[in-house]
Amino acid sequence: MKIDGFRGRLITADHTDYDTARAVWNGAVDRRPRVIARCGGTADVAAAMRFARDHDLEIAVRGGGHNVAGTAACDDGIVIDLSAMRAVWVDPAGRTARVQGGALWGDVDHETQTHGLATTGGIVSHTGVAGLTLGGGIGFLMRKHGLAVDNLLAAEVVTAEGGIVRASADEHPDLFWALRGGGGNFGVVTSFRFALHPVGPTVMAGPVFWAADDTADVLRFYRDFTAAAPDELGTVVRLGTVPPLPVIPEGLHYRPALAVACCYAGAVEDGERAVRALRRFGTPLVDLLAPTPYVAHQSGLDDSVPHGWHYYWKATNLAGLSDGAIDTIADHAYTAGSPRTYAAMFHMGGAVARVPDDATAYTGRDVERNIVIDAVWLPDESGERAAAETAWARGFLEALQPHRAGVYVNFLDSDDDSSRVREAYGDHTYRRLAEVKAKYDPDNAFHHNKNIHPG
Ligand SMILES: Cc1cc2nc3c(=O)[nH]c(=O)nc-3n(C[C@H](O)[C@H](O)[C@H](O)COP(=O)(O)OP(=O)(O)OC[C@H]3O[C@@H](n4cnc5c(N)ncnc54)[C@H](O)[C@@H]3O)c2cc1C
């Protein structure tokens, strides 16, 4: 196979790297593309795009390959694979970074922290910048510095026709609006330019764990604690078992527990003050909050969600954290069969809520919490285990029904693809996205994603 103007690698089924190249983070996904076009730069992306359109091929776009629905791979089509495009260039004086479309958050943190700078990224360093940003981008820094999309200044985009455009507040502003939350529906982003902020390099960060039996009490305390917390304090609650990480005493591994993971985006002494009441609450099993390099904190959870395990997610935003919601969470969080299964709840608000709703396509700025229910099992575990974990996740979401307030598009799994995309955006934003889609991708060439139909 040959693609005119393409200088990257073309990987087909007869190639020894084919199985590694088609694998995505979620090992439950097993798709066999006709060709994987591993691009070396923007010119390769444009050439691959033109080839795909000329040959009427199904198109999947791969950034970090982390989406749980496995949309970075497709059967019998072409994968426009940006995984070799991971460069990050920092302008420390201007406090911006240009990031290639296949970079991972660990790449960004590594380069920006050399200058004591950072921008809001995800909580696992092997997640892709592209998919995470295009869906909105939530993380520990968001309450202080906004979502990833709130820090996006410009993007270079290869269009559905194989052309190259720049999107920013001044250039193609309709496209720029849609890229900030509308996912991979509008083009292939070959580079992003982000605003950076002084963070760390040492921050007060880490988790505090309590026994599962304490969940309702801890969450009631945590609700009030976070309501009064400064924007600098980002927290994520993890409910499941204690992950078997080397920093945690072995005797606690896999014990049912909840953790409040914290990261204070400010001076360490101020961070110590901000978390004092939390770590004094009840009887923690283990308290790992300490002055920590920001890059170490950002990769601390990496090994608890490795590539290749099997995953199935359900998610919802929560308007608030009522006593009823807390009781439901406490009742369901520990009833899964797999010790690797967990749920993660993000505290939203702060700078996220201060951006007007219609400024970007990201929807749900007023929600207080965002919970993702992550069923996990090993590749060699039985079909029964998969069915049980999947049913657990569905049941947990069902039980949260009275408390639901929309959903974050990046947490939708494959069986939510069509049915919940409208829920993620709401009618008004969905309609506006459909208009931009009709302008930039009227044939819906980009449909291996959380699809917006051209309207
Ligand atoms: C372990 C883990 C932790 C996570 N933590 C967070 C978190 O803290 N915060 C958060 O907000 N989300 C988080 N997520 C969700 C994450 O935002 C999504 O899974 C996201 O899709 C991952 O992006 P990716 O580039 O790795 O994915 P991919 O699977 O490569 O891409 C997903 C989709 O994005 C589009 N896409 C990818 N690259 C491009 C590109 N260059 N141009 C145009 N479209 C593109 C395509 O439509 C593709 O189908 C997490 C996911 C995982 C698995």
- CB of 63 within 6 A of ligand 1: the answer is yes
Per-residue pLDDT band at 211 (split at 50, 70, 90) = very high
pLDDT surpasses 90 at 398: yes
The pLDDT, as a whole number, for residue 247 is 87
pLDDT at 382: 81
pLDDT at 407: 97
pLDDT in tens, 236-259: 999 999 999 888 999 999 999 999
Across the range 314-324, mean pLDDT stands at: 95
Mean pLDDT of the chain: 97
Give the nearest ligand 1 atom to 139 CA.
8
- Over residues 360-371, the pLDDT tens digits come to 999 999 999 999
User: Which residue of 410, 440, 441, 450 sits with most ligand 1 atoms within 8 Å of its CB, as the best mutation to test the pocket?
Assistant: 410
Instruction: Give the number of other CB atoms < 10 A from CB of residue 316.
Output: 23
Phi, psi of 183 (to 5 degrees): 75, -160
What burial letters (b/e) apply to 217-242, b meaning 16+ CB within 10 Å? ebbebbbebbeebebbbbbbbbbbbb
Which stretches of 335-413 are assigned E, i.e. beta strand? 342-347, 369-377
Judge whether 256 and 212 are in contact, CB under 8 Å: yes
CA of 277 to the centre of ligand 1 (A): 34
pLDDT in tens, 78-100: 999 999 999 999 999 999 999 99
**pLDDT band at 31, cuts 50/70/90?**
very high
Contacts of 170 (CB under 8 A, 6+ apart): none
Structural contact between residues 146 and 196, judged by C-beta atoms closer than 8 angstroms: no
The whole-number average pLDDT for the span 268-284 is 98
Ligand 1 pocket, residue 182 CB under 6 Å: no
What is the arithmetic mean of pLDDT over 397-420? 93
Nearest CA to ligand 1 atom 15: 410
The Cα–Cα gap between 14 and 405 comes to 47
What is the distance, to the nearest Å, from the Cα of residue 55 to the centroid of all Cα atoms in its chain? 32
- DSSP assignment of 222-242 equals HHHHHHT--TTEEEEEEEEE-
Provide, rounded to the nearest whole percent, the portion of the chain with pLDDT above 90: 97
* 100, 87 contact by CB (below 8 A): yes
Per-residue model confidence (pLDDT) at position 415: 86
pLDDT for the residue numbered 418:
81
Q: Is the CB of 138 under 6 A from ligand 1?
A: yes
> For ligand 1, is residue 448 a contact (CB within 6 Å)?
yes
At 300-318, the pLDDT tens digits run: 999 999 999 999 999 999 9
Alpha helix locations (H) across 195-342?
215-227, 268-280, 294-299, 323-332
Ligand 1 atom closest to the Cα of residue 148 is 11
Q: Which domains does the chain have, with CATH numbers?
A: 9-81 (3.30.43.10), 88-198+435-439 (3.30.465.10), 202-414 (3.40.462.20)
139-164: per-residue pLDDT in tens? Answer: 999 999 999 999 999 999 999 999 99
Would you state the pLDDT for residue 67?
A: 98
Q: Which of 110, 83, 88 is nearest to 99 (CA)?
A: 88
Helix (H, G, I), strand (E, B) or coil at 342: strand
On the question of pLDDT at 441 being above 90, the answer is yes
pLDDT of residue 63: 98
User: Where residue 416 falls among pLDDT bands split at 50, 70, 90?
Assistant: confident
Q: What pLDDT, on the 0 to 100 scale, is given for residue 245?
A: 85
